[in-house]
Structure 1
Amino acid sequence: MPWKESTSMSSRLEFVLLVLSASANIAELCRRFGISRKTAYKWLERYHAEGEGGLQDRSRQPHCSPCTADGELEMQVLALHFEYPYWGARKLCALLPDTVKRPHHSTVHAILQRHECQVLGVPISQSVVFKRFEHELPNDLWQMDFKGHFALTDTAAGRCHPLTILDDHSRFSLCIAACGNERYATVRTALQSTFERYGMPARFTADNGPPWGSTGLIGLTKLEVWLARLGIAVGHSRPNHPQTQGKDERFHRTLKLEVIGRRGYGSLAQCQSAFDAWREIYNAVRPHQSLNQQPPISRYRCSGRSFPSVLPPVEYLPDDQIRKVDKNGYLSYGHHRYFVGEGLHAESVAIRPTCTDGLLEVFFCKHKVREIDLQNPS
């Protein structure tokens, strides 16, 4: 029970002296001072043993701490911190060698605090719990996006547009390409190189901007057409809803913190060299909290769908009416022209009837491109 006083020493001394006076009633004095008998006898015992000095507050630190980190452990934690200054206690704990007894991550946290080590860019006490969603298998879904472009130190070299591709299941970084622009040809080259190394996914997800998103109301982009020919579906996030690309967005934050923001780069080649070196660490060394502090490579497997040397032909149903799309993105049917997207230039599309009289559907591969209303052609 706590003392009811403003100055603890004076109150304790007063209580002890009153107790030692003749005809003192200890129970009544305890009630008046608001303390228990156990507390009263503790301070009386200390006063008899040490005098007034025994009434001082004592440190509550235990006489011995068998679980306190030893010097070797502290040196290993500090060495890992200086090598990976952006990683927190959980990640550093997972990287400790098996030669030492692995401590709880709070012990590593305490070591960093004791040596006034700050995790760069992140408060050391930060602890946030997220509800995570992921696909069941590697290569079920890849997330793709451009990290915000940044200027190179050599102004004549332009700007760097980092293209990133992340596997949804494993968080494995499949590509960080230092691009000079965000055009279709540039993205296709980077994707083809990625497919040749890791195989092809079942599906991509991307935002709605070019080159993967169409700026028009209908139609497919050149990139979507190429991916459709490869049998890869493409999904798009809702406008102003970055959570759909949450894993890649979080990856971008780490990339900016640990690579882009650390130094300047004079050329795309310098950027690519830094990206490649960091990607190896991210995939094979850096523990990931959502993967039970294992690196992404522990869960990733290459796709069994190899990239073909020649695009497979587009096949349609026997009763489909086939039309070729002109360079402006139009097809001709029944003396009218219908827009289906410039991305389908020189491609063949299929026109199929529906259950509604006079209403037709236009397909490219498995993608429904648009509807044609013969009663109201436009």
Structure 2
Amino acid sequence: MPFRESSPEQRIGLFREYDTGAFTVTELCARHSISRETFYVWKRRRESGDAQWFEEKSHAVQNCPHATTDRLAKRIIATRRRFPHFGPKKIKAWRTCERPEVEWPAPSTIGDILKREGLVEARRQRRRGIAQGEVMTPAAGPNDEWAIDFKGWFRTVDGTRCDPLTITDAASRYLIEVRIVDPTSAGLKGALERVFKDIGLPGAIRSDNGVPFGSSGAGGLSALSVWWLKLGIEPRYIPPASPQDNGRHERMHRTLKAETSKPPADSAAEQQRRFDAFRRHFNEERPHEALDQMAPVKLWRLPSRCMLGHLDDPWYDADHEVRRVRPTGDIKWRGEYVFVGEALADELIGMVRHETGGHIVRFYGRDLGLIDRDRRFLRFAPPRARLRVAQETAETKQQ
């Protein structure tokens, strides 16, 4: 048994043997399975005069020179009580500004002080959607994929707020629309209906994950993207915080901003006229480097699919169980109500058995989540649409 794990009696016995003079230090260390350094540590303790030399002592730090003083801790707590919404970083910044000569502790230490005082509430962790991996989606031809987004809002000189909706074709870079619209699901749907009726339907639409394009619900779908699926348009969401995966659209935004809103127009009507003029120039006159200096109008063509007036319910294979989602977003499943998402209200969804014993929930062929054996709905995150393949192809051409 290692000596440090032995009992005080065994340590006393070791030095009784040592005092007899019958054993050398090397022999004693071998008999008790300890090193010579350990032997001399205990020998010094015995010779120190401590009556309890054979007892194991605590290895805890007796003094920490960097520990926060009670005085500083009280000031940190007082700051939090004065500014209840200040986190550790803001408290440190505010205190440093007030008393720059004081060496305030790190934000992590401030967080520990607040936690000990009960001034920090644990955040409720939202269960993340089950990742479905990534898909590579380079657009092969015009209208295979459109990109959509709102350019950052601004105000015209008369104080009117402008939210420009922009739509481009991924393959030809054709600027399909620049229109000031209400940045709500209803406003956006109205604008898209006009575009779909006037021009036609794309195969897919690439967007970020935010409202009204996406949501944190099943499959990342919102009421708007549910409508896209019913029209036969595939919603494609870029990975969160990855604007580079919609980079060609973001690059157009930079040009649009520089040429139309710096400075802004006097009114929204005048701003829209600027957008219309920019769209004509961008599509018909401006050479595009990615298109071998051709204008986008040279490559773009009208979509082959038109918007239909009536939308039928989806069709599912015979191995699917079908349910109509209630207005509250749930379905009746095995005698219980299971919530799948308000975006799917009044829609027909299908469930097919999975090898785990649960059931995959689908809408128009898109997997939204899994109802497990305990009748819990585990939502899927949307498959993330990257442009990596297209980027690698472009890099290869440059080389």
What TM-score does the superposition give when structure 1 sets the normalisation length? 0.61
1:147 aligns with 2:151: yes
Letter in structure 1 aligned against 2:221: L
Contact 2:142 2:299 in 1 (8 A): yes
Shift in alpha-carbon separation, 1:309–1:334, aligned structure 2, 3 A: same
For 2:272 and 2:370, how far apart are their aligned partners in 1? 44
Letter in structure 2 aligned against 1:143: A
Structure 1 alignment gaps of length 5 or more: 1-132
Q: Deviations over 1:211-265 (max 9, x none)?
A: 0111346552101110000111011111111111101100000000011114423
Residue 275 of structure 1 is matched in structure 2 by 275
Letter in structure 2 aligned against 1:250: R
Instruction: Return the structure number with greater relative CO, CA threshold 8 A, min gap 6.
Output: 2
For 1:263 and 1:226, how far apart are their aligned partners in 2? 34
Residue 294 of structure 1 is matched in structure 2 by 294
- Equivalent positions of 1:183-198 (< 5 A) are 183-198=184-199
For 2:218 and 2:326, how far apart are their aligned partners in 1? 18
1:200 aligns with 2:228: no
For 1:140 and 1:218, how far apart are their aligned partners in 2? 21
For 2:281 and 2:211, how far apart are their aligned partners in 1? 30
Q: Deviations over 1:8-52 (max 9, x none)?
A: xxxxxxxxxxxxxxxxxxxxxxxxxxxxxxxxxxxxxxxxxxxxx
Contact 2:313 2:347 in 1 (8 A): no
Residue 162 of structure 1 is matched in structure 2 by 164
1:242 aligns with 2:243: yes
Residue 363 of structure 2 is matched in structure 1 by 364
For 2:183 and 2:215, how far apart are their aligned partners in 1? 14
Residue 329 of structure 2 is matched in structure 1 by 329
What is the deviation of 1:334?
1.0
What is the deviation of 1:168?
0.7
Q: Deviations over 1:311-333 (max 9, x none)?
A: 23321223322211122211110
For 2:233 and 2:266, how far apart are their aligned partners in 1? 35
1:229 aligns with 2:233: no
Shift in alpha-carbon separation, 1:281–1:323, aligned structure 2, 3 A: same
1:137 aligns with 2:134: no
For 1:168 and 1:194, how far apart are their aligned partners in 2? 16
Residue 112 of structure 1 is matched in structure 2 by none
For 2:360 and 2:353, how far apart are their aligned partners in 1? 6
For 2:265 and 2:277, how far apart are their aligned partners in 1? 16
For 2:356 and 2:217, how far apart are their aligned partners in 1? 26
Q: RMSD over aligned Cα, in angstroms?
A: 1.8
Contact 1:219 1:342 in 2 (8 A): no
Residue 256 of structure 1 is matched in structure 2 by 257
Shift in alpha-carbon separation, 1:217–1:366, aligned structure 2, 3 A: closer
For 1:313 and 1:375, how far apart are their aligned partners in 2? 29
For 2:214 and 2:165, how far apart are their aligned partners in 1? 15
Residue 305 of structure 1 is matched in structure 2 by 305
Identity of aligned residues (%): 35
Residue 113 of structure 1 is matched in structure 2 by none
For 1:284 and 1:219, how far apart are their aligned partners in 2? 36
For 2:219 and 2:313, how far apart are their aligned partners in 1? 23
- Equivalent positions of 1:112-123 (< 5 A) are none
For 1:195 and 1:247, how far apart are their aligned partners in 2? 22
Provide the aligned length of Structure 1 versus Structure 2: 241
Contact 1:145 1:207 in 2 (8 A): yes
What TM-score does the superposition give when structure 2 sets the normalisation length? 0.58
What is the deviation of 1:135?
2.2
For 1:345 and 1:236, how far apart are their aligned partners in 2? 21
Structure 2 alignment gaps of length 5 or more: 1-136, 378-399
For 2:338 and 2:375, how far apart are their aligned partners in 1? 12
Residue 314 of structure 2 is matched in structure 1 by 314
3-state DSSP class of the match of 2:188? Answer: helix
Shift in alpha-carbon separation, 1:353–1:217, aligned structure 2, 3 A: closer
Letter in structure 1 aligned against 2:319: D
What is the deviation of 1:152?
2.4
For 1:370 and 1:192, how far apart are their aligned partners in 2? 29
Shift in alpha-carbon separation, 1:206–1:161, aligned structure 2, 3 A: same
For 2:190 and 2:138, how far apart are their aligned partners in 1? 27
